[in-house]
Amino acid sequence: MKAIKYIAIASMLMLSVVACRKDLLETSPYNAVSSGNIWTSSNLAKLALNGVYNALLQNAGTSYTNSVTAANYLGLDAHTLSALDPTVSPRNNWSSTFPLLNGNASPSDGMFSLAWRQLYEGVSRANDVITNVESVPDMDPKVCAQYKAEAKFLRAYFYYRLNSYYRGVPLYLESTPVSEFTKPRSSEAEVWQAIITDLTDVINEPNLPGKYNAGDPNYGRVTKGAAYALRGKTYLWMKDYAKAESDFKQVGSLGFSLFQGEYKQIFKEKNEQSPEMVFSIQCFELNTYGNQMTFKYGTRVTRGSCWNDFYGDTDFIDTYETVDGKPFNWDDYIPGYSSMTPAQRSVFFLRDGLESGNGNFGSADYKTLYTRMVNYGSDFSKYLDQGNEARIKAVYENRDPRLQQTYITPYSEYLGSPSGKEITYTLRWPFIQNDTSNPFDLRSDSSTYFHYLVRKFVSEGNELIYRQYSPIDVPIIRYADVLLSLAEALNEQGKTSEAITYVNMVRERAGVAPLNSNEYTQVAGQDDMRNRIRREKRWELACEGALYIEELRWGTWYESKLFDGAGLKQCWGTPVRSWSKNGNYYTKWPIPTTERQLNTDLTQNEGWID
């Protein structure tokens, strides 16, 4: 019963009456909001509010044509070590789509202007509702108050993202004619305070529910629980940890809780309305209304033949602990691994039977594959002709279960359906292509490289019909995130022992040893706990588009993403693409050149040159 989803189709018909940009180089920043007719009835006002929710879909990258842009959730994941790396596919113009990673970013790059445009479009739509909804003649006062509160939450969310990226932006808090889109930037602190003010109004609105239960026709709309969570996140930016603690605790008191079941199942359609989802973008199977996760994360044997434009980050995969909390070390599994060159240790990732020719069936010439890997530099003195696959597979089997529920690791299985028939595939190397008979190797878009692939959000078998638009809702705030944010707020106040309790709730659901339960999980004070919370967030929220803003807030983005040697690597560590660090100012996005041309009162962030 996804009411918002199906109302959204009708809402699209109303987009001509809400703010949108036709062209980046127009002489005025936005089209005028035409309110002459829409505020004459409650039904039209409802469509206007749904138009604000529709702005979330743009941010999620639901459009087929912009689903890999760095401004949306998929693109943001590429900017975190803990999530995904952009593809080696020539289909993706990597250097222009991800300039922050390429080290050549400039204020004229499209990722900055697209984010600005989309988020301000959401702000403008919200402002139109907030300013005009009370004038609707047949509007029930209680419904009117609820609509206004929902629009204020959405405005706060759009400003939350804008301020996280640009650190100080113009504040428009009422419906504004295009001729008056000329304000200078407010300070970062002023924008945070405006967000707090909006969210406080939302929380204080008596006509807004604390939570919607699964199946409620209003599920997916704003609640007090979502407002408390977002206000708590804003207080973290402001370093007001006591207020953040209070807000995060309120979310649990309103009935939100962790999903009780396998971690991977959180991201299935049947569980998208679990009590864990504090706020999510409502998606359904229609072009521009479904999420692009399956399409962009899935493989060629996923139903519909998906593109897997992103891969798991090899350095991040190695951060996942063992199930008892012990830090992962390759040498514990394969002695001498770390002293070998990446090419030499590629031998451990090879399929069985290359030397003898007695492999996993298939029509491939095993002698040719063997020669190929010898020439590559694989150290065959370490090869097990029968047992090589089992040895490397064991490396991943005693790890944090979230690893294999988020990524497809070497020699693990995946249920695909390239032609409507469900088939179990295995990720092997070197790859042998044959989708419909042995050896059923998992086919990706990078068959000349061996990468970690993504499992999270990717459909299995015949779960989904359309590759481009998945109906699975995109989580914006999950209760697991709230718990870990609460732990952070507590730890920053010196309440480390209390913080451990909330981290352990997430770890126990994941199936890993709780903190302070053995020698590996002993917390050695506030600094150690801070690092543990950050790692936990990375493992828990990988591939959800939520971590880039956290890395910016923590001030850890350079060290976690652009460290020496960082880049897209094959599973054994051979670089395929390297990231480049340019200066120390990339943690604040530049004000887009087009916006400064349209509004000369907009000052530029330090370090950026138009």
Report DSSP letters for 525-594, one per residue. Answer: SHHHHHHHHHHHHHHHHTTTT-HHHHHHHHT-HHHHHSSTT-EEE-TTS-EEEE----SS-TTSPPPPHH
How large is the C-alpha radius of gyration of the chain?
25
- Predicted confidence at residue 496, as pLDDT, reads 98
Element (H or E) spanning 454, and its range? strand 453-454
Burial class (CB in 10 A: 0-12, 13-18, 19+), 419: exposed
Contacts of 69-74 with C-beta under 8 Å, sequence gap 24+, read 69/97, 69/110, 69/111, 69/114, 70/97, 70/98, 70/99, 70/100, 70/111, 71/111, 71/112, 71/114, 71/115, 71/118, 72/545, 73/474, 73/544, 73/545, 74/292, 74/293, 74/296, 74/309, 74/310, 74/545
Strand ranges, E, within 80-157: 84-86
Could you tell me which of 284, 271, 266, 269 has the C-alpha nearest to residue 462? 269
Say how far apart CA 403 and CA 105 lie, in whole Å. Answer: 32
Determine the 3-state secondary structure of 246 from DSSP: helix
Contacts of 134-143 with C-beta under 8 Å, sequence gap 24+, read 135/39, 136/39, 136/40, 136/41, 136/42, 136/45, 137/40, 137/41, 138/41, 138/42, 139/42, 139/45, 140/42, 142/207, 143/42, 143/207
Could you tell me which of 475, 291, 310, 547 has the C-alpha nearest to residue 407? 310
Positions of the chain with pLDDT under 70: 1-36, 63-68, 88-93
Where residue 151 falls (left for φ over 0; alpha for ψ -120 to 50; beta otherwise) is alpha
Task: Please tell me what DSSP assigns to residue 441.
Answer: B
Report DSSP letters for 578-594, one per residue. Answer: E----SS-TTSPPPPHH
- The predicted-structure confidence for 281-297, as pLDDT tens digits, reads as follows 999 888 888 988 899 99
CB contact at 8 A, 536 and 507: yes
Measured between its terminal Cα atoms, the distance across the chain in Å is 48
- Predicted confidence at residue 412, as pLDDT, reads 98
Residue 472, CA distances (Å) to 283, 307, 445, 509 in order: 6, 18, 23, 22
CB contact at 8 A, 413 and 421: no
Reported pTM: 0.94
- Predicted confidence at residue 572, as pLDDT, reads 98
CB contact at 8 A, 416 and 423: yes
Question: Token match 């063997």: residue?
Answer: 370
Say how far apart CA 152 and CA 23 lie, in whole Å. Answer: 27
- Predicted confidence at residue 86, as pLDDT, reads 79
